[in-house]
Chain A
Amino acid sequence: AQKITQTQPGMFVQEKEAVTLDCTYDTSDPSYGLFWYKQPSSGEMIFLIYQGSYDQQNATEGRYSLNFQKARKSANLVISASQLGDSAMYFCAMREENYGGSQGNLIFGKGTKLSVKP
């Protein structure tokens, strides 16, 4: 079974509008972290935002916010006021704390390609 599911292979959004990129996850670990990364066409992976399983509030970082619904196991990324430079692949990833506190690896979804239209 997929641990991270991103059901939208591609999304379009008009410049200056908001867009939501979906991510659902599957874990039985009570402690986990959820991350979003951006991958522009140049290939690098850029960290955007983090949400912890015990965090009471949704994470926000500038124009990025995370709509965290723990009971539904979803962690959707919301980008407000889209810009042309937001066109990229977006990956949702999870780390589970099932290694006695050691650094666990990130598990990635397949990504969503966002295209911002002028």
Chain B
Amino acid sequence: EPEVTQTPSHQVTQMGQEVILRCVPISNHLYFYWYRQILGQKVEFLVSFYNNEISEKSEIFDDQFSVERPDGSNFTLKIRSTKLEDSAMYFCASSVETGGVKETQYFGPGTRLLVL
């Protein structure tokens, strides 16, 4: 069964460093998302991406964040200058094109980011 994959599974970085989190969405999916979950808290939406551009972003997704689809399979989230409060689990998700409220988003296993 196809699944969303994410690399790395864990990343430790120093405050101020840039990190790139990678995702490979399910191959026939065209909508991509990033969410984050700070430890012990609820999952929060960051950004959605379709047709090589951002569809929607939350107020969390400030200028320090960017997303890219560098090729036909990868979808990346970059944090330019990490802060301590960026420590969280980052989930990538994808869904097919048909759209509408019923379209299920399938999540990857997450990348646990720790900023020291």
Given A99-B56, A105-B33, A108-B43, A50 and B100 contact (CB-CB distance below 8 Å):
no
Q: Is the CB of A52 within 8 A of B101?
A: yes
The count of residues in chain A whose C-beta lies closer than 8 Å to any C-beta of chain B is: 31
Q: Is the CB of A103 within 8 A of B109?
A: no
Given A47-B106, A50-B102, A103 and B48 contact (CB-CB distance below 8 Å):
yes
The count of residues in chain B whose C-beta lies closer than 8 Å to any C-beta of chain A is: 30
Does more than half of chain B's interface fall in helix, strand or loop, or is it mixed? strand
How many pairs, one residue from A and one from B, have CB atoms within 8 Å of each other in the complex? 74
Given A47-B107, A96-B101, A91 and B42 contact (CB-CB distance below 8 Å):
yes
Does more than half of chain A's interface fall in helix, strand or loop, or is it mixed? loop
**A7 at the B interface (CB under 8 A):** no
Q: Interface residues, chain B, CB within 8 Å of chain A?
A: 31, 33, 35, 41-45, 48, 50, 55-56, 58, 89, 91, 93, 95, 99-110, 112
